[in-house]
Amino acid sequence: MSPLVYWQLDVFAERPLAGNGVAVFPDARQLTPAAMQALTRELRQFESIFLLPGSDPQVQGARIFTLEEELPFAGHPILGAAALLHHLQDPATDAEWTLQLAAKSVHLLTRRQERGFYAQMDQGVAEFAAQLAPVQAQVIAEAFGLSGAQLDRRYPASVVSTGLPYLILPVTAQGLAQARQQRTLDAELATHGAAFVFLLDVDNHEGRTWDPFGVIEDIATGSAAGPVAAFLVEHGLHRRAAPFSLNQGRFLGRPSRLDVCLGSDDRVSVGGSVQLLARAELRVDPRELT
């Protein structure tokens, strides 16, 4: 049996060792979901993605795991996987891919750059759900150690989704810098129909988010970038069909640029540069993993 190969990539990165790292398994058909979860914990990535090839090399099944759980959708693992497919299949021109996830199928475009690849995904139409009252937003802010003065009350805290619902909490630049998640928010997020909180400095287009327990801060969150883009356009801060960029990862020493655009058809695109960093293989039989 051939060894099971996986790759380490950096997404939303202009150079290696920047942006958000992800482990990509290009052929995980030998792995059970339990093994996928265990490998993600072993590799200590914020997320890992496991591809399940079929008869069409440009259409792949995919499963995404965090340290705690499987996700129905995520951003930077999908972009990283598409860039790796471009590298492995080496098309002569720009390429198109479809990744079939638990929540949706995602269409992607990739192209080779002088350094690495550029990958872009169609996240679909953003859905706006709950809008929080000021007192509810204050409760969420306090969970990050923030006062009412550090909330940006010009814009309402809102739940927006392109496959994974984020509670977008507008904060000041000072609030973003000082924020630290201090407790779990499962109960509040369930009430609002959200999975995660994304703190957004509207003026500087910069954000931060943590895992559900507040232990690990994400470097660059592609699944939040689409909702944030829709939120900014909804509030008149950007024009439709006009690309712009979001910033994340500065507070972790890995600044990342996420390119976004809300099209005239209301569909959101999210893209960024991807760098291949390393290739490795498992030295155990995948059938032995649980």
Q: Which two tokens stand for residue 51?
A: 């591809």
The predicted pLDDT at position 93 comes to: 86
Q: Please give the model's pTM, rounded to 2 decimal places.
A: 0.92
Give me the percent of the chain exceeding a pLDDT of 90.
Answer: 87
Backbone angle region of 261, left / alpha / beta, with phi > 0 → left and psi within -120 to 50 → alpha: beta
One of 3.10.310.10, 3.30.530.20, 3.40.50.300, 3.40.630.30 is the CATH number of 5-122+274-284, namely 3.10.310.10
Residue 287 pLDDT exceeds 80: no
Contacting residues for 189 by C-beta, under 8 A, at least 6 apart: 167, 195, 196, 197
Average pLDDT, the chain: 94
Domains 5-122+274-284 and 127-265 share a fold: yes
Residue-wise pLDDT tens digits, 203-257: 999 999 998 788 889 999 999 999 999 999 999 999 999 999 999 999 999 999 9
Instruction: Check: CB of residue 128 under 8 Å from CB of residue 192.
Output: no
**pLDDT score of 53:** 96
pLDDT at 1: 59
Please state which CATH number belongs to domain 127-265.
3.10.310.10
Phi-psi region of 50 (alpha: psi -120 to 50; beta: other; left: phi over 0): beta
| pLDDT tens digits, 144-158 | 999 999 999 999 999
* E strand or H helix that includes residue 200: strand 196-201
Residues 245, 257: contact at Cβ < 8 Å? Answer: yes
Domain parsing of the chain, residue ranges: 5-122+274-284, 127-265
Integer Rg of the chain from CA: 19
According to the model, what pLDDT value does residue 290 have?
A: 67
23: Cβ contacts below 8 Å, ≥ 6 apart: 6, 7, 8, 39, 40, 43, 45, 48, 49
- pLDDT tens by residue, 151-198: 999 999 999 999 999 999 999 999 999 999 999 998 999 999 999 999
